[in-house]
Amino acid sequence: MTHNQESGNDQDSVLRKPVSRRDLLRMAGVGGLGLMLGAGGMGGFLQAGRSLNANSSPARNTGDQVPFYGLQQSGIITPPQDFLCFAAFAIRSKKLADVRALFQKWTAAAAEMTQGRMIGEWNEQHNSPPSDTGEAEGLSPSKVTITFGVGPSFFDDRFGLSGKRPAELRDLPAFNGDQLSEDWCGGDIGIQVCANDMQVAFHAIRNLARIARGIAVLIWTQEGFQRTAGADPTAQTPRNLLGFKDGTGNPDVTDKKAMAKTVWVQQIEGPAWMENGSYMVTRRIRMRLEVWDRTQLSEQEATFGRYRSSGAPLGASKEFDPLGLDRVREDGEPVIPVNSHVRLAHGDGSVQILRRSYSYSSGIDRRTGQMDSGLFFVSYQRSIAKQFIPMQQRLSQSDKLNEYIVHVGSAVFACFPGVREGGYIGETLF
């Protein structure tokens, strides 16, 4: 089975199109999540960096918190939580001062939400909209993390920052088989929210969008899920919607040397404002579940190069056993097929990325009557050009898994380093 392919020119035009010029009528649809909720203004909303007063809501369950402040942003090497809400924004203002003020307000709000606090003044005034939308009131922080990044279009001529754009931060090249839709591509700003409760995660995106009103608008969002800690108290590697374990080959996030090599931008690489930051790639990958569900198990396992039940490489017995790419069968063919996903993703083993992906389900595609479900792929790496792109080029050319998937969305973001208490996200850039 093969899938239709767009021409390279069509793909390039989608990826190069400036996000800020999109049809803003989409604000009234899915892309307008939360923006209409702030009608009437945010009068009296918290100032950047201001602590809540004695009337603010109390913090909840400190054992369920992930620190917001630190050398690096949380949500990157943080153990993946159960749920994801991702949002891409386009900036409408042309003033750098507005953008700086937005990040300052976002920082203050994010710091409160990660502690399980309500945003802004906690009062009973009824003559103005509340400063917090309220759906997370009384809930624990649920280990929520909020991770901020900026896309290539952020560094156009609007804000005088073009000279500070990292060489690494550019739209991905067209890959074989891509069928990218503008609905899931690009963004001036990308925000990844992860939490162990979907309502807590949604609350964060909704309130960040509300704070941005008049400066930036949502252009696309994606929710994701994996098995919960309650369903799998042993915390095994999550399975994707094809039934196979996803993320077995990740580097050890507790190994500081491995993270410095794989994830965190180093001082020698520049620009200086990105030190201790990381580059994020997102890909919305639709799975042809109906076709996969009619495929024999032996064919499924040959496609991945792993056993479905254990996650072990073909020819091995345990999930984390070495791949053994040199093993051959009696007929001389490799035990792990040359076009299997695991062999092509591994390459020569010298390059890794940190995967942080979630499954998604967005109902039914009315054009085909099939499920609109798949994987919202998120990866972090020190270099997109040296890590992600070579890997994806191999996969796009000959991965047997391409018979069952299609990439429909794509975006890249430079995720800022962490922030000290009293500072704000993006301070090193601005």
Find the range with the poorest average confidence among 116-130, 275-289, 318-332, 408-422: 116-130
Where does the pLDDT of residue 230 fall: very low under 50, low under 70, confident under 90, or very high at 90 and above? Answer: confident
Decide: 262 and 381 in contact? Cβ < 8 Å: yes
Handedness of CA 156, 86, 35, 179 (dihedral sign): positive
Distances (CA, A) of 131 to 103, 193, 343, 393: 17, 20, 51, 46
Tokens coding 356: 């942080």
- Reported as a single tens digit per residue, the pLDDT across 333-357 is 999 999 999 999 999 999 999 999 9
Q: Which value, in Å, is the radius of gyration of the alpha carbons in the chain? A: 22
- Reported as a single tens digit per residue, the pLDDT across 29-47 is 333 443 333 333 333 334 4
- Domain membership flag for residue 157: yes
pLDDT exceeds 80 at position 190: yes
- Domain membership flag for residue 45: no
Q: Which of 347, 337, 349, 351 is nearest to 306 (CA)?
A: 337
- Reported as a single tens digit per residue, the pLDDT across 373-415 is 999 999 999 999 999 999 999 999 999 999 999 999 999 999 9
- Domain membership flag for residue 86: yes
- Domain membership flag for residue 175: yes
pLDDT exceeds 60 at position 52: no
Rounded-to-5 percentages of helix, strand, coil across the chain: 25, 20, 55
Residue with more model confidence, 340 or 56:
340
Which DSSP category does 383 fall into?
A: -
Q: How many domains does the chain have?
A: 1
- Domain membership flag for residue 400: yes
Contacts of 178 (CB under 8 A, 6+ apart): 5, 6, 11, 396, 406, 407, 410
Q: Name the strand (E) or helix (H) holding 87.
A: strand 83-91
What percent of the chain clears pLDDT 70, i.e. is strictly above it? 84
Where does the pLDDT of residue 120 fall: very low under 50, low under 70, confident under 90, or very high at 90 and above? Answer: confident
- Domain membership flag for residue 52: no
- Domain membership flag for residue 367: yes
Tokens coding 400: 């047997």
What integer pLDDT is reported at residue 124 of this predicted model? Answer: 61
Contacts of 231 (CB under 8 A, 6+ apart): none
Average pLDDT over all residues of the chain: 87
Decide: 12 and 172 in contact? Cβ < 8 Å: no
- Domain membership flag for residue 255: yes
pTM (two decimals): 0.86
Q: Mean pLDDT throughout 75-93?
A: 97
Query: Which residues span the domain enclosing 332?
Result: 8-39+67-230+237-415
Count Cβ neighbours within 10 Å for each residue of 282-304 and write b for 16 or more, e otherwise.
Answer: bbbbbbbbeebeebeeeebbbbb
- Reported as a single tens digit per residue, the pLDDT across 18-32 is 444 344 434 433 334
